[in-house]
């Protein structure tokens, strides 16, 4: 069984660990500031230097890396109906570890086309129409996008009936276009597995090179995944386990960063209570959402604006926000960062959860669910520096619980809380497909319960 050297190259920190799969043991863990603005390799070498006492005594069989450096994987999603094909396309992007920097529905207009041209995305995902359904809008949007002669690749994951025409349009415009299964082949049915894998392949084939990460080939064997996808693969194993290693069951997780907040939910079954109808597209059992306007540094002002009526939004907080605005790398105030992190958690998890709506008709009162019902989820995992550096991470994670004043938001009623206190989730996700049993055991061993 091999020994791996694993790295997560982030926008703020480069994290590393050494895993002996024979012994099911993490031999060393270290992190250092990321050097993405200079040379990513420097940050990796700094982490290796911290693990040198262990590295000098062992032989590494393979070195693997996941990365969210240089902005991570940035995608644009284009669909037909906002709550259906566009939502399906967006969920496919999120599940592949991408950040969606733009989403567009119906026929694209010139101003939207200009936004796409200026967005500097890595991949555009074009969808629309069920198989055999609408194709006029999809073809219109394909012509509009092709007119830009974009340098980014396009994935077509829409109505299969016009797939050949779509491919021909992009080929004539010398645009790299690849196809996969429709992300919504029939009404309300989500099908993103093939699309997610294709996004990953494009990330490895073109995006890694475009971001200069291929220069790391002299010190690593492979850049395997975008970091959020690695985190997702690890959490899926932690939740569901394997045929020989039991998982911990349905869970949620939150990863709070300086610019974005990611929320994950892993469920064994789709939950729909008795006598409740469902509205819209059924979301995946394994879901990730990304809130690009929530973070404790680059997005701190936006978070505060959303919570300006809270008592913690006082003169001290306003002074701290000004310090952040003047210098994004200013000294951390742990207490105020904890408040910002709690606000991020509250807003992001409420956006992630499903909703229960009431409808009135001559037949009486009816109830309809949209999104995921998370009320029975019992485990919450906290990931990221703002949680680990907080004096009271529990007070932050408790913001995930359901709010009696908003029973329509389907968040958990009661939770057990855990921390990824050693920064291992993202790195261990790199081994999810290679050594799933080992990953489950190491994750369960390294989750710190908050009491």
pLDDT at 49 over 60: yes
- Report the alpha-carbon distance of residue 204 to residue 64 in Å, rounded: 13
pLDDT in tens, 135-150: 899 999 999 999 998 8
Poorest-pLDDT segment among 297-311, 328-342, 356-370: 356-370
Q: How many CA atoms lie within 13 A of 218 on its CB side?
A: 6
- Report the alpha-carbon distance of residue 451 to residue 102 in Å, rounded: 40
The mean of the pLDDT values for the chain is 89
* % of the chain beyond a pLDDT of 70: 93
Residue 73 pLDDT class (50, 70, 90 cuts): confident
pLDDT at 218 over 70: no
Is residue 90 within 8 Å of residue 32, measured between CB atoms?
no
pLDDT in tens, 396-425: 999 999 999 999 999 999 999 999 998 899
Residue 208 pLDDT class (50, 70, 90 cuts): low
Is residue 316 within 8 Å of residue 119, measured between CB atoms?
no
Closest CA to 428 of 381, 378, 376: 381
Residue 435 pLDDT class (50, 70, 90 cuts): very high
pLDDT in tens, 318-352: 999 999 988 887 888 889 999 999 999 999 999 99
Residue 258 pLDDT class (50, 70, 90 cuts): confident
174 class by beta-carbon count within 10 Å (0-12 exposed, 13-18 middle, 19+ buried): exposed
pLDDT at 220 over 70: no
* % of the chain beyond a pLDDT of 90: 60
The CATH fold assigned to 3-70+211-220 is Nucleotidyltransferase; domain 5 (3.30.420)
Is residue 355 within 8 Å of residue 277, measured between CB atoms?
no
User: Region 26-45: what's the mean pLDDT?
Assistant: 78
pLDDT at 447 over 90: yes
pLDDT at 206: 67
pLDDT at 217: 56
pLDDT at 30: 92
408's CB contacts (< 8 A; 6+ apart) are 355, 356, 357
According to DSSP, the β-strands at 62-67 and 3-9 are: parallel
pLDDT in tens, 232-251: 999 999 999 999 999 999 99
- Report the alpha-carbon distance of residue 286 to residue 16 in Å, rounded: 26
Closest CA to 63 of 37, 39, 44: 44
pLDDT at 35: 62
The CATH fold assigned to 74-205 is Rossmann fold (3.40.50)
């Amino acid at each position: 069984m091999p020994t791996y050297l694993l790295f997560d190259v982030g926008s703020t920190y480069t994290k590393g660990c050494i895993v002996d799969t024979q012994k099911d043991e993490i031999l060393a863990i270290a992190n250092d500031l990321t050097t993405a603005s200079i040379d990513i390799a420097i940050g990796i070498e700094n982490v290796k230097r911290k693990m040198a006492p262990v590295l000098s005594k062992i032989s590494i069989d393979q070195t693997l890396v996941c990365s969210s450096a240089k902005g991570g994987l940035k995608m644009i999603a284009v669909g037909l109906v906002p709550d259906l094909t566009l939502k399906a396309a967006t969920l496919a992007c999120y599940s592949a570890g991408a950040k969606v920097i733009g989403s567009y529905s119906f026929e694209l207009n010139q101003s939207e086309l200009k936004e796409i041209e200026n967005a500097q995305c890595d991949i555009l995902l074009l969808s629309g129409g069920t198989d055999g359904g609408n194709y006029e809008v999809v073809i219109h949007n394909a012509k509009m996008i092709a007119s830009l002669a974009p340098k980014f690749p396009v994935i077509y994951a829409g109505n299969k009936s016009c797939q050949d025409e779509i491919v021909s349009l992009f080929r004539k415009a010398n645009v790299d276009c690849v196809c996969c299964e429709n992300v919504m082949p029939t009404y309300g049915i989500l099908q993103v597995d093939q699309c997610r894998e294709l996004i990953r392949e494009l990330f490895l084939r073109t995006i890694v090179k475009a971001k200069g990460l291929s220069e790391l080939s002299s010190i690593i064997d492979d850049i395997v995944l975008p970091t959020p996808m690695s985190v997702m693969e690890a959490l899926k194993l932690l939740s569901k386990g394997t045929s020989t290693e039991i998982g911990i069951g349905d869970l949620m997780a939150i990863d709070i960063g300086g610019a974005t907040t990611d929320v994950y939910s892993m469920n064994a079954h789709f939950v729909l209570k008795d006598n409740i109808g469902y509205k819209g597209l059924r979301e995946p059992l394994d879901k990730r959402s990304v809130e690009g306007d929530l973070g404790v540094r680059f997005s701190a002002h936006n978070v505060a604006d959303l919570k300006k009526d809270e008592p913690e939004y006082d003169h001290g907080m306003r002074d701290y926000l000004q310090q952040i605005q003047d210098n994004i790398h200013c000294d951390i105030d742990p207490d105020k960062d904890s408040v910002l992190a709690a606000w991020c958690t509250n807003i992001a998890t409420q956006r992630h959860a499903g909703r229960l709506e009431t409808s009135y008709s001559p037949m009486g009162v009816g109830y309809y669910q949209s999104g995921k019902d998370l009320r029975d989820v019992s485990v919450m995992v906290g990931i990221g520096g703002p949680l680990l550096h907080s004096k009271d991470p529990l007070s932050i994670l408790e913001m995930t619980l359901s709010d009696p004043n908003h029973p329509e938001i389907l968040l958990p009623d009661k939770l057990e809380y855990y921390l990824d206190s050693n920064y291992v989730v993202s790195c261990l996700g790199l081994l999810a497909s290679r050594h799933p049993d080992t990953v489950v055991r190491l994750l369960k061993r390294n989750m710190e319960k908050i009491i």
